[in-house]
Structure 1
Amino acid sequence: MNEKVLSTLEYEKIKQAISGYLSTQNGKKELEELKPVDNPRTIEMWLDETDDGAHILRLDKEISIQKLEDVTPYMKRLSINASLNGTELSKINKILKATTYLVRFFNGLKDDKVLLKRIYKIINEFQTVPTISRRLSDSIDDDGRILNTASKELNSIRRRMEVVKSEIRSIMNKYTQKYSSDLTDPIVTIREDRMVLPVKAEKKNKFGGIVHDRSSSGQTLYIEPASTVGLNTELREKQIEERHEERRILAELSDLIRPYQTEIINNAKLLGHLDLINAKAKYARAVEATRPAISVENKVYLKKARHPLISMDKVVANDLYIGEDNKAVIITGPNTGGKTITIKTIGLLQLMGQSGLFVTANEGSTIGVFDNVYADIGDEQSIEQNLSTFSSHMDNIVDILNSITKKSLILLDELGAGTDPKEGAALAMSILDKIGAVDSEVVATTHYPELKVYAYNREKTVNASMEFDSETLQPTYHLLMGVPGQSNGLNIASRLGLDSSIIDEARSLVDQDSQDLNNMIVELTDQTKRAREEADSLAENLSAAQEIHSELSEEFGKYQKQKDRLVTSAKEQANEIAESAKKKANAIIKDLRKKQQAIGKVEVKENELIDAQGQLNALRHDVDLTHNRVLKRAKAQHNFHKGDDVKVKSYGQRGVLVKKLDNNNWEVQLGILKMKIPESDLEKIKVDNDEKRFNTKVRRTSSSGLSTKLDLRGHRYEEAMHEVDQYLDSAVLAGYPSVTIIHGKGTGALREGVTKLLNKDRRVASFGYSPANAGGDGSTVVKLR
């Protein structure tokens, strides 16, 4: 893309807005280098990445990356065998820790079956070196200070230093209390890295020792008492040993990471790329942007497109489409009616889409893939500047015409303006013919009425205009496709009170064709406005009708289910009645047969008895219960076999079937007892093999008193670690999915302790620092199993 169009369409302002969501130097560097491309596969890949980031945000999650600096200069120093200082090593470790955190984070998303198009592939490119990260974490805190745990020697030296300092302070405090009147101030101060007392000059002989400094007035001497000289000397020696050991540790750590320079630089770049993806997604959410489809045929259709730099409560959305039959769009309308913003919106959204950004338009919008976007857009100048303005525009248009291809998009504002109207209109039409010959897409704005006729008569050229409300004399900023802009000068003048004789005279000077054209445009505009209002009304009615239809469908479904249940219930009741009658009838028929046999005389014919029984059977209504899940489960629970585990409902006890005694009773083993139990009092149960005879239930209960946050600030290390262990037990039992442990930043001892404990804890699924706006590395979010 040419740099001029990026400036004209304010593309850099979009990048500035995205930059506010970045936290890494590499992310900011990649954003600075970001420009629109004309490769459809690259655009699709970038949009997939932004889509992944937006999907993660929709899940109320975030690609959380703390502030990271560019470590490339440090890697260059390592390549020449230099040693890094603590601050530089700390920044490298932040990259290693961020890499480990993100790998865990996205592994968690994989476990949760979250589908992403591109980011999982990026994560696979990370190369973690956990052993080196742990070594750095044990040695350097986040501020670059070397920790006592960096080496046993350093720990021993510092512990001895603390003991010596404590002894010196104790002696010095005794001096300040006992000889306070001999001191300028009863305090202990430092001179030449040694603890001294501010002694009044006249009292120096009372203390002895070494004078290290004198006040500017000469009234105060800074004396190291003789009793502390030996301790101060030892402290000084230990300080020298400490510096030597620190240098040795830094050299060792530098040597440790030196073989991994390539991996660290690659990880840093990937972190920056993920940071940019996250920033793109956050910006899209902030401006309510959506993912566009891509048309390699350059059919651009932006639904309800909005300019992203105009506040959403002020901007007017318009449908914009070019391509196919609309290769050239000529927009006419009054000044300040929105023509310039409209063509800027088309150009800027196209640049955003070709940069892998979502566009501020509704779902289902489509962008093209242009090899370049050219724009000649400038503010209207004063009369005195017309000549220079016209020349400037012509220079720009000459450059454009020499560069365009059939894959280019050209945006021309006030084409042909700045010269004689007749010449300007003729020149504008010739320029549009030249662009049409190349077959480029072009959107142009103009005031010239001749171009309305030009657009009407030219193939693949369409008129468009910005709507103007003649009642309020205000523009509505709505774009009307297919309708040329009307001339409102005489109407406006009339409504503002200009004498009617003047208006009539002016109308007589306008030729009849122009008046007829203007009247036709007024009528078309009114028709289009009514059509849009009716379409909006119909859309609302359709939405309401669809909602009612959905509710009715749901209620009808409920009614059908209820009806089926009622019919089934009625049939079952009828069957019960018929079954009862049938039993009674069978009993009567049986009795009659016995009597007939007894007297040896057939009073009732057999076929009559069979017919009567058939009529009784016909009273029964069959109910299809083959698909009734409840009955299936009930039947399965009463399909007993020897050895089945059962529950005796009357006792509430479990047992095992030993043998079937008769049609209605079973012998059941209940513990050490064997009992005869009716089959109707039994219910089959399913028991795991491990549990076969005993079933112990462990149930999580919610804890109304347990917070989801544990604050360790101000606690001692051992006490804090014990608290974390107990708190995780309570959180697991409470059923919490995740908790937050607040350890603060400080020296980093609590943070490192918490990290070590969580690394080894089987109750922990994953963990990582809180987002930057929720405490950053001052607290850790723990996801529990």
Structure 2
Amino acid sequence: MHTRVFKVLEFDKVKAQLLEHVSSSLGKEKVERLFPSSDFDEVVQWQEQTDEAVASLRLRGHVPLDGIVDIRSSVKRASIGGTLSPQELLDIASTLYAARQMKTFIDSLAEDSSSFSHLSQYAAGLVSLSEIEQAIKKCIDDHGEVLDNASERLRSIRQQLRNTEARVREKLENMIRSSSAQKMLSDAIITIRNDRYVIPVKQEYRSAYGGIVHDQSSSGATLFIEPQVVVDLNNQLQEARVKEKQEIERILMELTGKVAEQADALLENVNILTELDFLFAKAKYAKKIKATKPLMNDHGYIRLLKARHPLIDPNVVVPNDIELGKDYTTMLITGPNTGGKTVTLKTIGLLTLMAQAGLFIPALDGSELAVFRSVYADIGDEQSIEQSLSTFSSHMVNIVDILRNIDSDSLVLFDELGAGTDPQEGAALAIAILDEVHQRGARVVATTHYPELKAYGYNRRGVINASVEFDIETLSPTYKLLIGVPGRSNAFEISKRLGLDERIIERAKSHISAESNKVENMIASLEHSKKRAEEEWKQAEDARKEAERLRNEWEEKLEELNEKRDELIEEAKRRAADIVKSSQQEAEHIIRELRQMQKEKQAEIKEHELIAAKKRLEEAVPTFDSKKKVKAAKRTHHEFRPGDEVKVVHLNQKGYLLEKVSDDEWQVQLGILKMKIKERELEYIGSSKPTETKPLATVKGKDYHVGLELDLRGERYEDAIVRLEKYIDDALLAGYPRVSIIHGKGTGALRKGVQEFLKKHRSVKNIRFGEATEGGTGVTIVELK
């Protein structure tokens, strides 16, 4: 691409903003060399790398890029035998530390997600030279001074230095504190000249101290003398300093040698850290301008959603939707001056350059841009005084150069095409230039204020008109782009609102041709229709969003209700199961006690009866199916009566109704068992057979239901005997060999009367009191003949 377009579209200003986010001079150098690429695969890769950097910033919030230094010259000097200074070695250690931190950071990202392939490749290339880093940190402190423990010899030399300095100072301190010192010394201090300790002696007392004169004051009144008593000590001090310097040189050479051995790895680390600093600078810049990753294509299609110019204050910039390259490849923007046409033009061009440079763009997600081989722009007043060229001439020189080079892989931006000359000729030239560029297949966006071009898009395929909206009420542009609607003049409306006489305005209108009026009216109608369509679309969209919100809200409520219902059902099932389980355990406990009693021969209980009882208890445990409803008893309109044959649904057993014990409960005979069952658990099978039409022998046979027990408790003696006599007859007809008469213990009168009656009854074979498990003396067991 021609470098001129970068200045015209202000790409250099974007790079200047990007420079604010680099962490090192290496990153700065990389940004300064940044240029858009026309290679589609390379652009896609750059965008993916930026996307990974943005994602890592979003996940971690900070990237450890501190400490990166440009050490390339130091490494190269070390590799050719030079000795590095302590500060250069510190910079190398700092850069190694930054590389190690960066490698750890990226590896931790890769462990959490596999979507950091590009960053992982960079991390794989970083070499962790911790031995060199530790060796440098061990020998040099943060201020660039070689530490005492860099070597045993250096520690010994510096200890000797400190001791010797202390002795020199001690001797000189004694001299300046003596009684004669105030008279002979200019000042009672110890100072240094030529790296040797001296004292300031007045000129006239020079001979009092002897030794060596190293300096004198500007007036000559004071001599800086090294007294004879410390000359030898100062000599020892100088020798120690020479040894110290030699040892420091040896240590630095040794560390430099380690650096030279790993020169290639160090330079590779620098290259990778440069790329990473550059990548994360792009990510930080994207975060600052709220930019997103554009989809890239290689077929010239541009679709920008709420695109913003990155150099305009985000609080005032107006976002615009822009589309080009599918149904139409040329867009002609018309409208008043200062209406935002040029900003729209620059936004398209600048965002294209940013995307092709691997930068995110300030637009919504889903925006799409093409990779162009070249971008051309003729924008602004480029009149050249030195070349004596008019505005029109300077534009035309640039346009001629553009026409020489464009092809189907070009994006061309024309601002005020044909301006600066006769309007009629300028409009004709603009149409011809647009036709030429359009025929070559380039993507073109042009702005103009010529009325002749307003109808340009209506009779040319692949061309569309656009305009920037102007608010008549406020007399100011809204900077909103209207695609499909050409701009129209607002001179009459503006003049009217500013107070120009209506008569003058009407006279002006009469000078406008009928054809121009027709075009203006058509444009006004288009604008009105578009506004109304946008308002209706917005209302429909708001209604859709509200309906979607309500649907989601009710779906959430329904889901919560279902979850709550399921929780309540599960809780009820659990509690029911716990109750049944507890009852079953209690029943098993009772059975164990019965068996224990059987062993002790306190009761005669048959084993199969125990097994059958336990089986019935186990069958009584409810089973729950979350998907199927428990089958309830069939409801009929039959009114239950004693003697009805019924089915107990939850036990799957048939029996007969004995009597109603409460409003919703019956006593039911199930085989040899009597149970109280809720009426809702009963299913009617059939009624008892009528007795008036059949002889007694037929009715009261084995098919006639008679209980095995007769409960006489609470009865008067006479009534009890009548019931007992009838019951014995019924039991005989039923064929029972043995029945039980329950009379209770009480005063014993009923028991005595019952037994006297039974002893005299002709069909009674034998009587006895019940066993402990049968009711004891409250029950009489009757054996029938």
**TM-score under structure 1 length normalisation:** 0.72
Judge conservation of contact 1:209–1:225 (CA < 8 Å) in 2: yes
Would the alpha carbon gap of residues 97 and 10 (structure 1) be closer, same or farther in structure 2, given more than 3 Å must change? Answer: same
Would the alpha carbon gap of residues 498 and 604 (structure 1) be closer, same or farther in structure 2, given more than 3 Å must change? Answer: closer
Which amino acid in structure 2 is aligned with residue 447 of structure 1? H
Task: Measure, in 2, the Cα distance between the counterparts of 1:135 and 1:362.
Answer: 51
Instruction: Tell me, yes or no, if structure 1 residue 132 matches structure 2 residue 132.
Output: yes
Task: Measure, in 1, the Cα distance between the counterparts of 2:585 and 2:144.
Answer: 94
The aligned residue for residue 120 of structure 2 is 120
Which of 536, 551, 554 is the equivalent residue of 1:552? Answer: 554
Task: Measure, in 2, the Cα distance between the counterparts of 1:577 and 1:237.
Answer: 100
* Secondary structure of 1:211 counterpart: strand
Q: CA offsets per residue over residues 438-489 of structure 1, 9 Å max, x none?
A: 1110000001122121111110110100000111111000000101001111
Q: Which structure 2 residues correspond to residues 356-371 of structure 1 after superposition, within 5 A? A: 356-371=358-373
Q: CA offsets per residue over residues 729-770 of structure 1, 9 Å max, x none?
A: xxxxxxxxxxxxxxxxxxxxxxxxxxxxxxxxxxxxxxxxxx
Shift, 1:249, TM fit? 1.9
* Secondary structure of 2:306 counterpart: strand
The aligned residue for residue 52 of structure 2 is 52
Judge conservation of contact 2:211–2:226 (CA < 8 Å) in 1: yes
Judge conservation of contact 1:578–1:619 (CA < 8 Å) in 2: no
Task: Measure, in 2, the Cα distance between the counterparts of 1:135 and 1:507.
Answer: 89
Which of 288, 291, 297 is the equivalent residue of 1:289? Answer: 291
Q: Which structure 2 residues correspond to residues 614-633 of structure 1 after superposition, within 5 A? A: none
Shift, 1:418, TM fit? 1.0
Task: Measure, in 1, the Cα distance between the counterparts of 2:169 and 2:8.
Answer: 69
Q: Which structure 2 residues correspond to residues 363-402 of structure 1 after superposition, within 5 A? A: 363-379=365-381, 388-402=390-404
The aligned residue for residue 442 of structure 2 is 440
Structure number with greater Rg is: 2
The aligned residue for residue 355 of structure 1 is 357
The aligned residue for residue 749 of structure 2 is none
Paired residues in the alignment total: 607
Shift, 1:248, TM fit? 1.7
Where structure 2 has 5 or more consecutive residues not aligned to the other structure, the ranges are 591-604, 610-641, 656-667, 671-675, 683-785
Q: Which structure 2 residues correspond to residues 303-702 of structure 1 after superposition, within 5 A? A: 303-379=305-381, 388-569=390-571, 610-612=653-655
* Secondary structure of 1:611 counterpart: strand
The aligned residue for residue 90 of structure 1 is 90
Deviates more, 1:46-55 or 1:480-489: 46-55
Would the alpha carbon gap of residues 559 and 389 (structure 1) be closer, same or farther in structure 2, given more than 3 Å must change? Answer: same
Would the alpha carbon gap of residues 531 and 235 (structure 1) be closer, same or farther in structure 2, given more than 3 Å must change? Answer: farther
Which of 207, 210, 213 is the equivalent residue of 2:212? Answer: 210
Judge conservation of contact 1:386–1:418 (CA < 8 Å) in 2: no
Task: Measure, in 1, the Cα distance between the counterparts of 2:477 and 2:507.
Answer: 27
Which amino acid in structure 1 is aligned with residue 204 of structure 2? E
* Secondary structure of 1:59 counterpart: helix
Task: Measure, in 1, the Cα distance between the counterparts of 2:13 and 2:681.
Answer: 81
Which amino acid in structure 2 is aligned with residue 90 of structure 1? L
Which amino acid in structure 1 is aligned with residue 282 of structure 2? K
Would the alpha carbon gap of residues 239 and 462 (structure 1) be closer, same or farther in structure 2, given more than 3 Å must change? Answer: same
Shift, 1:256, TM fit? 2.0
Which amino acid in structure 2 is aligned with residue 96 of structure 1? L
Judge conservation of contact 2:382–2:395 (CA < 8 Å) in 1: no
Q: CA offsets per residue over residues 39-70 of structure 1, 9 Å max, x none?
A: 12111111111111111211233232235443
Shift, 1:494, TM fit? 1.9
Would the alpha carbon gap of residues 363 and 606 (structure 1) be closer, same or farther in structure 2, given more than 3 Å must change? Answer: closer
Q: CA offsets per residue over residues 680-701 of structure 1, 9 Å max, x none?
A: xxxxxxxxxxxxxxxxxxxxxx
Q: CA offsets per residue over residues 560-616 of structure 1, 9 Å max, x none?
A: 22223334556677889999999999x9xxxxx99xx9xxxxx99999894148995
Shift, 1:290, TM fit? 0.5
Compute the RMSD of aligned alpha carbons. 3.3
* Secondary structure of 2:454 counterpart: helix
Task: Measure, in 2, the Cα distance between the counterparts of 1:134 and 1:579.
Answer: 71
* Secondary structure of 2:499 counterpart: coil
Task: Measure, in 1, the Cα distance between the counterparts of 2:426 and 2:219.
Answer: 87
Shift, 1:74, TM fit? 2.6
Task: Measure, in 2, the Cα distance between the counterparts of 1:503 and 1:305.
Answer: 39
The aligned residue for residue 739 of structure 1 is none
Would the alpha carbon gap of residues 178 and 484 (structure 1) be closer, same or farther in structure 2, given more than 3 Å must change? Answer: same
The aligned residue for residue 718 of structure 2 is none
* Secondary structure of 2:232 counterpart: helix
* Secondary structure of 1:370 counterpart: coil
Judge conservation of contact 2:332–2:466 (CA < 8 Å) in 1: yes
Would the alpha carbon gap of residues 222 and 323 (structure 1) be closer, same or farther in structure 2, given more than 3 Å must change? Answer: same
Larger RCO, structure (CA 8 Å, separation 6 or more): 1
Would the alpha carbon gap of residues 409 and 617 (structure 1) be closer, same or farther in structure 2, given more than 3 Å must change? Answer: farther
Shift, 1:544, TM fit? 4.6
Instruction: Tell me, yes or no, if structure 1 residue 231 matches structure 2 residue 274.
Output: no
Shift, 1:124, TM fit? 0.5
* Secondary structure of 2:397 counterpart: helix
Would the alpha carbon gap of residues 218 and 381 (structure 1) be closer, same or farther in structure 2, given more than 3 Å must change? Answer: closer
Task: Measure, in 2, the Cα distance between the counterparts of 1:553 and 1:53.
Answer: 38
Would the alpha carbon gap of residues 221 and 45 (structure 1) be closer, same or farther in structure 2, given more than 3 Å must change? Answer: same
The aligned residue for residue 644 of structure 1 is none
Judge conservation of contact 2:331–2:445 (CA < 8 Å) in 1: yes
Shift, 1:620, TM fit? 7.6
Task: Measure, in 2, the Cα distance between the counterparts of 1:562 and 1:8.
Answer: 65
Where structure 1 has 5 or more consecutive residues not aligned to the other structure, the ranges are 588-592, 598-602, 622-785
Task: Measure, in 2, the Cα distance between the counterparts of 1:248 and 1:306.
Answer: 60
Task: Measure, in 1, the Cα distance between the counterparts of 2:578 and 2:150.
Answer: 86
Judge conservation of contact 1:578–1:616 (CA < 8 Å) in 2: no
Task: Measure, in 2, the Cα distance between the counterparts of 1:584 and 1:77.
Answer: 93
Q: CA offsets per residue over residues 662-711 of structure 1, 9 Å max, x none?
A: xxxxxxxxxxxxxxxxxxxxxxxxxxxxxxxxxxxxxxxxxxxxxxxxxx
Shift, 1:377, TM fit? 0.3
Would the alpha carbon gap of residues 222 and 434 (structure 1) be closer, same or farther in structure 2, given more than 3 Å must change? Answer: same
Q: CA offsets per residue over residues 290-341 of structure 1, 9 Å max, x none?
A: 1111111121111000000001001110001111112000000100000000
Instruction: Tell me, yes or no, if structure 1 residue 66 matches structure 2 residue 59.
Output: no
Would the alpha carbon gap of residues 123 and 620 (structure 1) be closer, same or farther in structure 2, given more than 3 Å must change? Answer: farther
Shift, 1:399, TM fit? 0.7
Would the alpha carbon gap of residues 580 and 47 (structure 1) be closer, same or farther in structure 2, given more than 3 Å must change? Answer: closer
Task: Measure, in 1, the Cα distance between the counterparts of 2:116 and 2:360.
Answer: 17
Moved over 6 A (4+): 380-383, 571-585, 603-609, 617-621
Q: CA offsets per residue over residues 96-119 of structure 1, 9 Å max, x none?
A: 222122122223333444741310
Task: Measure, in 1, the Cα distance between the counterparts of 2:190 and 2:546.
Answer: 82
**TM-score under structure 2 length normalisation:** 0.72
Deviates more, 1:73-82 or 1:33-42: 73-82
The aligned residue for residue 691 of structure 2 is none
Judge conservation of contact 1:299–1:324 (CA < 8 Å) in 2: yes
Judge conservation of contact 2:70–2:270 (CA < 8 Å) in 1: yes
* Secondary structure of 2:187 counterpart: coil
Task: Measure, in 2, the Cα distance between the counterparts of 1:192 and 1:535.
Answer: 89
Which amino acid in structure 1 is aligned with residue 48 of structure 2? D
Which amino acid in structure 2 is aligned with residue 611 of structure 1? K
* Secondary structure of 1:123 counterpart: helix
Which amino acid in structure 1 is aligned with residue 213 of structure 2? V
Judge conservation of contact 1:63–1:274 (CA < 8 Å) in 2: no
Task: Measure, in 2, the Cα distance between the counterparts of 1:505 and 1:233.
Answer: 109
Shift, 1:222, TM fit? 1.1
